[in-house]
Structure 1
Amino acid sequence: MSFMQQDSIGANKELCDYLKKARTEFTEHTIASAESITVMDHYLGLKIGVKNLNTKYQQELNVTMGDMAKENDKLQDEFSSTFSTLDANFVTRTNELHSAVNDSLMQDRENKEATDAILETSMKQVTLLQEKHGQAVSKIRDKAEQSLTKDYQIQNTKNCRVDQRENETPKKLAIIVPSLRRLRR
């Protein structure tokens, strides 16, 4: 029996060693498993947190994008309205300016025609006046010369000059007629 006892003690010792080793490994595996579960729980919590943040920021981004789209639409409408108003005003002002320029041009043409007609008439009158004035001045000079010549000839025939002789036919003497400038002095 002793052999069996020895085998039994050896098997018991081996079993105890095996159980200790199994217990140590079980404890290590339990700790590792608990750590893995903790890490997995932490990972799942982190995943849920990131997902919640993504959802939250996605919602905020959607709201912000919606607000920005509405604001852009509003600004686009205001811009379009302002542009349409400015365009209409520009067209109106341009048409008014075009009309005013055309009216002014038409009036300038009418005024030019009237002025040309007045100038033509005035030039004809001035030319005619110059001609008549020239003729009148010539007539006045001729009459003045005739009168002066007549007066001097009458005086000369009445006074009989010294250089004329009685038995000779009188000769026409050159009479110097004073100029208008001299007469005006």
Structure 2
Amino acid sequence: MTLRTCSKTIWINLFVWVMSFVMVLPAWVHSKVIRFPDGLESCSMNLVTPKEVLWYTLYQTITSFFLPLPLMLICYMLILCHTWRMYLKNKRERRFSANNKSRDRAIRLTKMVLVLVAVFLVSVGPYHMLQLVNLTLRRPTLAYYTCYYLSVCLSYAASSINPFIYILLSGHFRRRLTYRKPTSRPSVEREPYGPQVRTPHSSF
């Protein structure tokens, strides 16, 4: 909670943007408009030597899969440990009303974490595994290209699936989506100099 200040939030966001900029620099350096023999042009990665292919593949796989995965697992595990710790604490103190809420929240968060990790592994994992397999192939086959392009589509699909996972598995999201502010009538209060009408303030 001590980190949740306006100034620290700004610095953390700036740090994330700077790191993101640095991590995409290799893609900017190697991107180039390539002209094919039939006259078509395409913006693609211009990796000429096998060494460039090796280093770029390792860079992409590490920064996009092997680095985010343990960070995601650590953060999720810390959240789950804290949630289950609060549930056990309420259970020991025999807080029956709070105990039920804590247990439901812990189970809901556990399900969400398992689904999010599974979606990340299933959607992003095949693409990076095929990238590593490509390093061992002299001439990729048609089956490899088919699996590769399917894995590309699957990796992009993860970004669009995650919001729906939060909505389906999080009761808080569902409540906020279906929330309707109850209409209230202005109240009339008597003041020394006559009645004054006070309307409720907007929450926005």
Q: Which bracket does the TM-score occupy, shorter chain normalised?
A: under 0.3
More helix by share: 1
Please tell me whether Structure 1 or Structure 2 has the larger radius of gyration of its CA atoms: 1
TM-score (normalizing by structure 1): 0.24
Between Structure 1 and Structure 2, the one with more strand by share is 2
